[in-house]
Amino acid sequence: MNKKTKAILLNFLALISLFLLVTILMASGMLSNYLSNILVTVLITIIMTASLNVTTGLLGQLALGHAGFMAIGGYVSAIFTKNVAMDIGLSLPIALLLGGLAAALFGMLIGIPALRLQGDYLAIITLGFGEIIRVIIENLQITGGAAGLTRIARMSRVFSPDRTVSNIVQFAIVFWITVLVIASIFTLGRSRHGRAIISIRENAIAAEATGIPTTRYKLLAFTIAAFFAGLAGGLFAHQNGILVAKEFGFNKSIEYLVMVVLGGMGSITGSIIASFVLVALPEMLRALSEYRLIIYSLLLIIMMLFRPAGLLGTQEFSLLSFWEGMERFFHTVFRGKGEKTRMPFQPRYDVWNDKPVLETSKLGIAFGGLKAADNINIHLMNDEIVGLIGPNGAGKTTFFNLLTGVYLPTEGQVTLLGKPIMGKQTHEINQEGISRTFQNIRLFKSMSALDNIKVAFHSRMKYSPISGILRNSRCLSEERGIDIRARELLRVFSMEHEADTIAGSLPYGQQRKLEICRALASNPKVLLLDEPAAGMNPSETVELMNTIKLIRDQFAVAILLIEHDMKLVMGICERIYVLNYGKIIAQGTPAEIRNNPEVIAAYLGQEQVRPLEEARHA
């Protein structure tokens, strides 16, 4: 048994002992009904904040209507148990599930339009939806209108005539559901789906270009968060026995948001601690009754002034390793150790020698009246390194954006491996075989170098979110395969020792390399490099030239690169296209380009007649 497994086992034991301890305290009457009720409130709050943390912390989108989903879950489950003649032990689980599903459905319905918006506008539209949900509930017959829904079966009463026994059952139900929710959020966060969600927070444009269907993942995160909030709503309804729509307004959503931020966005452990403190604190301050909210708000302000990133920042407690070790333990005990590693993908073996890998015909785009790209016809052969040069503003990056589907061309066609790809979304084009890097580096800055690469492997893994949550053998074997491949890839670029370094803290040159590395991880047939040598000193540039050649040789990929460094372009490109005012004005070998009068004119102005190379040294 290794160290990690031991730590995990300890954690699990701690969880069980905690549960037993509370149960014994309740059974012995040392924990009053009042206190155990507060404890249940804390647990429900934990589900709410942890789920809100999926949207706000992991996905990085501010949501101000989370209480709305709680309301939906609460009402749906309460209406179910009230109207179905079933034993509560049977109807409650169904009701909770229904509540969660209803909230998830609404989350999806709201998310589809809302997630087109960004930043604060998304926050406001979620606020709007949250309030509308509340107002609608207040005006419906079935929900009891503004007066609310009363006489819902209360968990602390229904299970046994003995209050204490019933209370213990209530605690058990809520406690283990909370544990399950937290564990699912943890495991999901560690899966390929979790990485995809976090990569959107880090850099949505890069995530899309790396093959992540960002819209779908935003929606997934949103829906999952809504599901758990619905679940919490169901528990809340059956804890209190009464639902009043007013309670689920904007203020409630804000309350949960405050907890998430105080705990640290992205830290589930932080959410747990903050929920505990912020639910318990007002109760503890009850003696100071009239001052308590003043103290509370002062604490909030002071806390933010001194720890703006929250209690834990994005750090997690050992629960994370707990889960990992848990499953490792189970696998070694129950299945024997020889778990096989699946390589969930194969490199491309397509033979594509005589025809161009990538071809554009009459490609163009107009922004208003301005033709940023006009009638561009280029082709790339297998294993070719081709340069794309031109003065600033010539339309080079625009051309890359056309190839990768960031912009939709207004005319022409792009053909990749003989297939037209125009009109496809950026992530689809990435999966088809075009990868790119960016002029201004776009890494997933707060993820490790290794995880940056793993995000790019996303579309080559197949396991579902559910297997990600369960961490079943399919998920584990794919993850292991990816881990090996990602480390291999880092090794090719002699970056294996940086695997666990946070990408944003790597030196500049290494960041450029990591970005190229990430682009290669999605196994492209065509690699687009946008000014890879920008900001590099001469010796770094020489190193980069060698790297590019190495990529071509090792990865069997055609490379199209935009670069201003003529030494690099002339040094490694077999062919060069010259772009000016959105048009290709010349093409040919480096020698031809160097002496082309039109190119010289474009770069140096009409009067200049000196060859480019000479001018550079002058």
Partner 1 sequence: MTLFFSQLINGLHVGIIYALIALGYTMVYGIVKLINFAHGDIIMVGAYTAVITLVSLNVPPVVALLLTILVCVIFGVTIERVAYKPLRSSPRISSLITAIGVSMLLQNTALLVFGAASRPFPTIFSIPPLRFAGIQISFVTALTIVVSLVLMLLLQTFIKTSKAGKAMRAASEDYNTAQLMGINVNNTITLTFAIGCALAGIGAFLYVMAYPAVSPTMGSLPGLKAFIAAVLGGIGIIPGAMLGGVVMGIAESLTKAYISTQLSDAVVYGILIVVLLVKPTGLLGKQTREKV
- Report if residue 202 touches partner 1, rule: CB under 8 A: no
- Number of chain residues interacting with partner 1 (CB under 8 A): 48
What DSSP element (H or E) covers 402? helix 396-403
- The rounded distance, in Å, linking the Cα atoms of 491 and 485 is 10
Among the listed residues 38, 93, 105, 128, the single contact to partner 1 using CB under 8 A: 128
- Report if residue 120 touches partner 1, rule: CB under 8 A: yes
Query: What's the closest the beta carbon of residue 214 comes to partner 1, in angstroms?
Result: 13
- The rounded distance, in Å, linking the Cα atoms of 314 and 336 is 35
The token pair at 165 is 């026994």
Query: What's the closest the beta carbon of residue 335 comes to partner 1, in angstroms?
Result: 44
Cβ-based neighbours of 561, under 8 Å, separated by 6 or more: 385, 386, 387, 388, 528, 529, 530, 532, 548, 569, 573
The token pair at 34 is 């009042």
The token pair at 103 is 């909230």
Q: Please report, as residue ranges, which positions from 246 to 265 form the binding site for partner 1 (by CB under 8 A).
A: 250, 254, 257-258, 261-262, 265
Query: What's the closest the beta carbon of residue 127 comes to partner 1, in angstroms?
Result: 8
- Report if residue 113 touches partner 1, rule: CB under 8 A: yes
Other Cβ atoms within 10 Å of 282 Cβ, number: 14
Among the listed residues 438, 457, 463, 493, the single contact to partner 1 using CB under 8 A: 438
What DSSP element (H or E) covers 106? helix 88-114
- Report if residue 212 touches partner 1, rule: CB under 8 A: no
DSSP per residue over 515-554, as a string? HHHHHHHT--SEEEEESTTTT--HHHHHHHHHHHHHHHHH
Among the listed residues 105, 148, 169, 296, the single contact to partner 1 using CB under 8 A: 296
DSSP 58: I
Q: Which residue lies nearer to partner 1 by CB, 10 or 288?
A: 288
Stretch that binds partner 1, among 40-48, 126-134, 150-158, 460-468 (CB under 8 A): 126-134
**E-strand spans in 102-187?**
none
User: Buried b / exposed e across 122-150, counting CB within 10 Å, b at 16+?
Assistant: bbebbbbbbbebbeebbeeeebbeeebbe
Query: What's the closest the beta carbon of residue 571 comes to partner 1, in angstroms?
Result: 27
Sort residue 388 into left (φ over 0), alpha (ψ -120 to 50) or beta.
Answer: beta
- Laid out side by side, the sheet with 526-530 consists of 434-436, 526-530, 558-562, 385-389, 575-580, 583-588
- Report if residue 118 touches partner 1, rule: CB under 8 A: yes
DSSP 391: S
Could you tell me which of 615, 589, 587, 590 has the C-alpha nearest to residue 600?
A: 615
CA angle 175, 180, 181 (to 5 degrees): 100
Q: Please report, as residue ranges, which positions from 396 to 425 form the binding site for partner 1 (by CB under 8 A).
A: 397, 401, 406
CB 54 within 8 A of CB 224: yes
Whole-Å CA distances, 183 to 13, 53, 179, 188, 368: 15, 14, 6, 8, 51
Query: What's the closest the beta carbon of residue 294 comes to partner 1, in angstroms?
Result: 5
The whole-angstrom distance between residue 122's C-alpha and the CA centroid of its chain comes to 16
- Report if residue 121 touches partner 1, rule: CB under 8 A: yes
The interface mask with partner 1, positions 221-250, x = CB under 8 A, is -----------------------------x
Q: Please report, as residue ranges, which positions from 321 to 380 form the binding site for partner 1 (by CB under 8 A).
A: none
Q: Which residue lies nearer to partner 1 by CB, 264 or 344?
A: 264
- Report if residue 140 touches partner 1, rule: CB under 8 A: no
The whole-angstrom distance between residue 77's C-alpha and the CA centroid of its chain comes to 30
Length of the chain: 618
Q: Which residue lies nearer to partner 1 by CB, 255 or 432?
A: 255
Q: Which residue lies nearer to partner 1 by CB, 128 or 571?
A: 128
Within a 13 Å sphere around the CA of 115, how many CA atoms are in the beta-carbon half?
Answer: 22
The token pair at 245 is 């729509």
Among the listed residues 16, 18, 132, 370, the single contact to partner 1 using CB under 8 A: 132
- Report if residue 205 touches partner 1, rule: CB under 8 A: yes
Q: Which residue lies nearer to partner 1 by CB, 244 or 417?
A: 244
The token pair at 221 is 């995160």
State whether residue 447 is helix, strand or coil: coil
Q: Which residue lies nearer to partner 1 by CB, 68 or 100?
A: 68
Query: What's the closest the beta carbon of residue 525 comes to partner 1, in angstroms?
Result: 21
Query: What's the closest the beta carbon of residue 230 comes to partner 1, in angstroms?
Result: 21
Among the listed residues 15, 117, 366, 417, the single contact to partner 1 using CB under 8 A: 117
Among the listed residues 38, 304, 542, 556, the single contact to partner 1 using CB under 8 A: 304
Query: What's the closest the beta carbon of residue 144 comes to partner 1, in angstroms?
Result: 14
Phi, psi of 414 (to 5 degrees): -115, 130
Among the listed residues 83, 297, 505, 595, the single contact to partner 1 using CB under 8 A: 297
Among the listed residues 135, 140, 288, 550, the single contact to partner 1 using CB under 8 A: 135
For the four alpha carbons of 245, 248, 250 and 251, in that order, the dihedral sign comes to positive
Among the listed residues 53, 107, 138, 569, the single contact to partner 1 using CB under 8 A: 138
Among the listed residues 287, 305, 351, 618, the single contact to partner 1 using CB under 8 A: 305
- Report if residue 293 touches partner 1, rule: CB under 8 A: yes
DSSP 57: I
The interface mask with partner 1, positions 144-183, x = CB under 8 A, is --x-------------------------------------
Whole-Å CA distances, 219 to 109, 117, 164, 224, 447: 9, 12, 42, 8, 22
State whether residue 43 is helix, strand or coil: helix
Q: Please report, as residue ranges, which positions from 45 to 74 form the binding site for partner 1 (by CB under 8 A).
A: 56, 62
| Max CA distance (Å), the chain | 100
Query: What's the closest the beta carbon of residue 264 comes to partner 1, in angstroms?
Result: 11
Q: Which residue lies nearer to partner 1 by CB, 95 or 274?
A: 274
Stretch that binds partner 1, among 7-15, 115-123, 508-516, 554-562 (CB under 8 A): 115-123
Query: What's the closest the beta carbon of residue 396 comes to partner 1, in angstroms?
Result: 12
- Report if residue 312 touches partner 1, rule: CB under 8 A: no
Q: Which residue lies nearer to partner 1 by CB, 440 or 539?
A: 440
Interacting residue ranges for partner 1, rule: CB under 8 A: 56, 62, 113-114, 116-118, 120-121, 123-125, 127-129, 131-132, 135-136, 138-139, 146, 205, 250, 254, 257-258, 261-262, 265, 290-291, 293-294, 296-298, 300-301, 304-305, 308-310, 397, 401, 406, 438
